[in-house]
Structure 1
Amino acid sequence: MIEILQWSTLAICGAAAVARIPSAVRGENRSLFYIFVLATLAILLSIDGPYVAIDRLLGGTNVTNLILRFVIFAVILLVGYRIARGFGAPASIRLILGPIGLGILAVIATATLVLFLLADTEGSVAGLTTLPSRSPRNAQLIELYAAAGRLYPAYVAASLLPATLAAASSNLAASIRWGAGLLSVAFVALPAGTLYPLLPDELGPLKALINYLAVLSLMGGLLTIWIGRVRAQPPARRSSTAK
């Protein structure tokens, strides 16, 4: 089931990226195109087969997982900028792109890199699932590394949630409200990831479901808002934007 969900999510993100190519070429909403492209890459790198194949090409040290973490950071930063600006949320913009937000990103990114370098990461394995069993020290390092990777998405999500909840309950167009609602679901699911260490191993599939719920809600929210705005445009302008 998880594999089906992974490939389905990859297909959705990839299709969204392809659909945005004409607009991106014209210079319209390029940040949205970059979000879909990077999200597609992140999903691809999270799937076992592609992950192992790519990582072996890169030396078999799970550096692909580190790349995945930084791709996710980039997606979240772009999403934060796009949504905060789109909903006119100056407080969210300051929290994400101001000195505090960029400082938090720098600290988390540095911690992620350092923890990865300190850990024993030899041998390609998606999700680093077998690495903690190598030693108590490695188990602690991998757990801290994973926790660091979840912190920045959780921070940005918490910064954006008030804005999306306000938009979802506003008098804006239905597509905007529905899109904001989906984004709100994503921004609740992302901070939930910080609680993963508290869940027993038997609930491992639940973690994956929460992750993909966040991704699908995030992409679905952005697509819903985009489609709604295209439909709201005059026919001549709509045909140009939709291409």
Structure 2
Amino acid sequence: MIAILQWTTLAVCGLVALARIPSAVRGENRSLFGIFALMTLAILLSIEAPYVAIDQALGGINLANLLLRFVIFGAIFFLGIRIAKGFGAAGTYRLITGRPGILVLLILSALVVAVFFLMDTEGSSAGLSTVYAKDDRHMLLVEYYGAAGRAYPAFVGVALIPAMVKAIGSRLPVLVKVAALLLGVGGAAIGLSLLFPFIPADWGAMRFVVNYTAVLCYIVGLALIWIGKVRQRKPLAGTASFTEK
């Protein structure tokens, strides 16, 4: 079931990214194509088989996992900017791109790198399962590493929720309000990822469900806004930024 969810999410994100290529070639909103491309790469790096193949090419010391963390950071940063601008959430935009948001990004990036190099990361395995199983020290370090990696996406995702709630109750087109609902659910799911250390071992599959729910909600939400623009052939009220170059 988890494998089906992973490959289905990869297929959906990859197809949406491919569909954006013609517009990107014309110079239309290339940042949106970049978001889909980064999210596709992140999903690819989270699946065992491609992860191991890529990591082996990088030396077999789980550098692919470190790459995954920064791909996610980049995707969520640009996604946060697009959503905040698109829904006119000036305060959220300033929070993400201003000094507080950049400081949070830099601190968490430094923590991710520092904890990674405190571990003996030899042995390619998605989710660092091999590293986790080495001893109690590595078990704890992997938990810290994962928490630092989840914190920034959660910061951005939760920051966007108030703007999505406001959009749902507005007079925006129904398609855009559905998109806002999905984007809000995605942000809430990312926020819930901070609770992963408290999830019982028997419920481990819930981590995958929460993560991929967030990704799918973001992909479909952004795609709905794009579809709405194509259908109307003009910028949607409150969503013009999604169509900017």
TM-score (norm 1): 0.95
What is the match of residue 240 of structure 2?
none
Any conservation in 1 of the 2:56–2:124 contact (CA below 8 Å)? Answer: yes
CA offsets 1:1-58 (integer angstroms, 9 cap, x no match): 1101111111111110111011111111111100110010000000000001111111
| 1:192 equivalenced with 2:192 (yes/no) | yes
What is the match of residue 44 of structure 2?
44
What is the match of residue 86 of structure 1?
86
What is the match of residue 100 of structure 2?
100
- Give 1:149 shift: 0.3
| 1:171 equivalenced with 2:171 (yes/no) | yes
- Give 1:166 shift: 0.8
CA offsets 1:182-218 (integer angstroms, 9 cap, x no match): 0011010001000000011111111101100000001
Alignment of 1:1-243 (within 5 A): 1-233=1-233
Distance (whole Å) between structure 1 residues aligned to residue 3 and residue 195 of structure 2: 23
Any conservation in 1 of the 2:42–2:72 contact (CA below 8 Å)? Answer: yes
CA offsets 1:104-126 (integer angstroms, 9 cap, x no match): 00000010001001111110011
Distance (whole Å) between structure 2 residues aligned to residue 76 and residue 15 of structure 1: 19
Any conservation in 1 of the 2:61–2:121 contact (CA below 8 Å)? Answer: yes
Distance (whole Å) between structure 1 residues aligned to residue 192 and residue 229 of structure 2: 30
CA offsets 1:54-105 (integer angstroms, 9 cap, x no match): 1111110001000000000000001000000001111101110000000100
Could you tell me which runs of 5 or more consecutive residues in structure 2 were left unpaired when the two chains were aligned.
235-242
- Give 1:132 shift: 2.0
- Give 1:154 shift: 0.4
Distance (whole Å) between structure 1 residues aligned to residue 191 and residue 147 of structure 2: 11
Distance (whole Å) between structure 1 residues aligned to residue 33 and residue 128 of structure 2: 30
Q: 2:184 aligns to what SS in structure 1? A: helix
Distance (whole Å) between structure 1 residues aligned to residue 171 and residue 65 of structure 2: 42
Distance (whole Å) between structure 2 residues aligned to residue 206 and residue 196 of structure 1: 9
Q: 2:60 aligns to what SS in structure 1? A: coil
> Which stretch of structure 1 is more off in the superposition, 21-30 or 105-114?
21-30
Could you tell me which runs of 5 or more consecutive residues in structure 1 were left unpaired when the two chains were aligned.
235-240
Q: 2:214 aligns to what SS in structure 1? A: helix
Distance (whole Å) between structure 2 residues aligned to residue 195 and residue 98 of structure 1: 27
Q: 1:88 aligns to what SS in structure 2? A: coil
Q: 1:24 aligns to what SS in structure 2? A: helix
- Give 1:141 shift: 1.0
Q: 2:133 aligns to what SS in structure 1? A: helix
Percent identity over paired residues: 52
TM-score (norm 2): 0.94
Distance (whole Å) between structure 1 residues aligned to residue 64 and residue 178 of structure 2: 35
- Give 1:223 shift: 0.4
